[in-house]
């Protein structure tokens, strides 16, 4: 398993991030064309559903929170219905929105997309985009000063809706100079923030052209075009790292005093996917805060954006989804939190859960028989696998023969196994408490009352199935045979 990626993504959960920017409410009006209008030769679209999502900088905050960081969002919004919807989304996504300033004289920015058959027909924009007042500028700066010392990273997300005035940026520079916090800027005009000396900026191709005053080129010619502008790019951005996104042509990364490099991407059918750039920025920022190398930062950011490109509408990438992207054994559940989410999901689907456990050190016919029969006992089979330390406690210093990573990889290849989770204790009692299986399958010469887990299983009302060992098909016997052959060069008698 790529532990370097997994460990860094897990580290996101220890971080605090501050997102400052223009909040937008994305509304999707889902329609269906059912007849033609009498007044004009146009179809009539009947509304079937409304969906509301956070857009703009608010979507960046949603993504930062989904990736696991404790997220604080600062902005100026109105005191209208759109603001209420945004705040409800913040609450649902566990974003700290207490420092947001509400201005009754402003209308919250909103983008309404009318869709039919998963296609966007047109968009209606509304909201105040003029500069915020001096009063609210001062209040916002005070809020930043109050919490900046607790932050691991700061993200500026400028959608040019009036938040980032010249005076605001100038005062923000003074605040930032007192704190050594990584600053990531995602803005339509990156040169506007050059005085802040950001750690990284993330311009897309159109923003890069505007900043560098270049003519548009097509396809892979864009990569060479921007690569030739490296010196100027650093001068106008003031940044140490530039992640220049090129949609289907991937991402071009620049880092001061190091060679630029390009990451390709697999083009996706993204006709209705919105906000992948915000997702990229969120993963970029958290990876920098987690002190990953630049190439790892690039891969994590690209991966997060790729996850979103498979989704419709304004979407995000969760911590779990990003880990699964890098997980060569997707059946493996990394930790207790993810196991709890999985079990909740299975319960919502009314799935009958079966649980069994073992060392599975050297996979053999007895294991296959146990797992096949366990699979037949319900809808989903979750297998608990003893960790290396756990096996050593049970079996002694010579075990395990195969590491947990190897054992998980082999078990994941079995069709009968749906999910795998490891445990460090000698008994999987803690896992059973979390999973509450409907059926518990045990291999060996036990009775239903003699297995160590019997009291707990009885308490939770779990059915127990005992499957006897197949004669001569257990790991210790196989290891003894191998050792006998090594000593005698003769097969051990049955």
Residues annotated as catalytic (active site), given as ranges: 278
CB neighbour list of residue 418: distance below 8 Å, 6 or more residues apart: 331, 375, 380, 381, 382
> DSSP state, 383?
E
Q: How far apart are CA 314 and CA 9, in angstroms?
A: 22
Q: Which residues are registered as beta bridge partners of 216?
A: none
**Pick from 354, 290, 361: nearest CA to 322:** 290
**Pick from 336, 341, 297, 298: nearest CA to 318:** 341
Q: What three-state secondary structure class fits 381?
A: strand
Residue with tokens 């028989």: 369
Q: How far apart are CA 293 and CA 42, in angstroms?
A: 55
CB neighbour list of residue 292: distance below 8 Å, 6 or more residues apart: 8, 300
Q: What three-state secondary structure class fits 295?
A: helix
Q: Please tell me the number of Cα atoms within 13 Å of 262 on its side-chain side.
A: 15
Burial of residue 35, with CB atoms counted within 10 A of its CB: 0-12 exposed, 13-18 middle, 19 or more buried: exposed
Q: How far apart are CA 279 and CA 316, in angstroms?
A: 6
The size of the chain, in residues, is 494
CA 131 and chain centroid, separation: 34
From the CB of residue 207, how many other CB atoms can be counted at a distance below 10 Å? 19
From the CB of residue 136, how many other CB atoms can be counted at a distance below 10 Å? 19
Cα Rg of the chain (Å, integer): 28
In sign, the C-alpha dihedral spanning 306, 312, 314, 315 is: negative
Strands 241-245 and 251-255: antiparallel
Q: How far apart are CA 275 and CA 156, in angstroms?
A: 15
């Amino acid at each position: 398993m790529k532990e370097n990626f997994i460990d860094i993504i897990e580290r996101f959960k220890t971080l605090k991030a501050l997102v400052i920017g223009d909040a937008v409410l994305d509304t999707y009006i889902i329609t269906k064309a059912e007849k033609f209008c009498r007044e004009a030769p146009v179809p009539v679209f009947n509304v079937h559903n409304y969906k509301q999502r956070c857009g703009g900088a608010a979507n960046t905050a949603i993504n930062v929170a989904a990736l696991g960081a404790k997220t604080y969002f600062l902005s100026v919004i109105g005191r209208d219905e759109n603001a209420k919807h945004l705040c409800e989304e913040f609450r649902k996504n566990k974003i700290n929105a207490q420092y947001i300033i509400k201005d009754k004289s402003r209308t919250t920015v909103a983008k309404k997309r009318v869709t039919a058959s998963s296609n966007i027909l047109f968009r209606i924009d509304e909201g105040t985009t003029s500069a915020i007042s001096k009063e609210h500028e001062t209040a916002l700066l005070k809020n930043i000063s109050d919490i900046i010392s607790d932050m691991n990273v700061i993200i500026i997300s400028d959608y040019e809706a009036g938040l980032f005035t010249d005076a605001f940026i100038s005062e923000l520079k003074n605040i930032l100079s007192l704190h050594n916090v990584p600053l990531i800027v995602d803005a339509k005009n990156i040169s506007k923030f050059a005085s802040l000396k950001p750690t990284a900026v993330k311009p897309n191709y159109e923003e890069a052209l505007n900043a560098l005053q270049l003519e548009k080129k097509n396809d892979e010619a864009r990569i060479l075009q921007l690569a030739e502008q490296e010196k100027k790019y650093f001068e106008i951005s003031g940044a140490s790292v530039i992640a220049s996104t090129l949609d289907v042509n991937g991402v071009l990364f620049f880092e001061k005093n190091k060679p630029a490099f390009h990451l390709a991407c697999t083009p996706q059918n993204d006709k209705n996917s919105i906000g992948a750039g915000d997702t990229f920025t969120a993963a970029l920022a958290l990876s920098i805060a987690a002190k990953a190398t630049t190439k790892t930062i690039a891969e994590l950011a690209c991966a997060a954006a790729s996850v979103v490109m498979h989704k419709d509408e304004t979407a995000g990438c969760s911590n779990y989804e990003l880990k699964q992207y890098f997980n060569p054994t997707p059946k493996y559940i990394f930790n207790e939190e993810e196991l709890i989410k999985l079990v909740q999901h299975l319960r919502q689907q009314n799935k009958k859960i079966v649980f069994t456990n073992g060392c599975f050190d050297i996979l053999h016919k007895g294991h296959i028989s146990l797992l096949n029969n366990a699979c037949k006992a319900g809808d989903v089979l979750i297998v608990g696998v003893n960790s290396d330390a756990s096996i050593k406690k049970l079996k002694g210093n010579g075990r395990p023969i195969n590491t947990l990573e190897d054992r998980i990889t082999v078990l994941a290849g079995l069709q009968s196994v749906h999910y795998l989770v490891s445990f460090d204790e000698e008994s999987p009692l803690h896992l059973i408490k979390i999973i509450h299986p409907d059926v518990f399958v045990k291999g060996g010469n036990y009775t239903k009352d003699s297995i160590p887990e019997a009291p707990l299983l009885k308490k939770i009302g779990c059915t127990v199935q005992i499957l006897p060992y197949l004669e001569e098909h257990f790991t210790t016997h196989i290891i003894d045979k191998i050792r006998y052959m090594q000593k005698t060069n003769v097969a051990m008698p049955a």
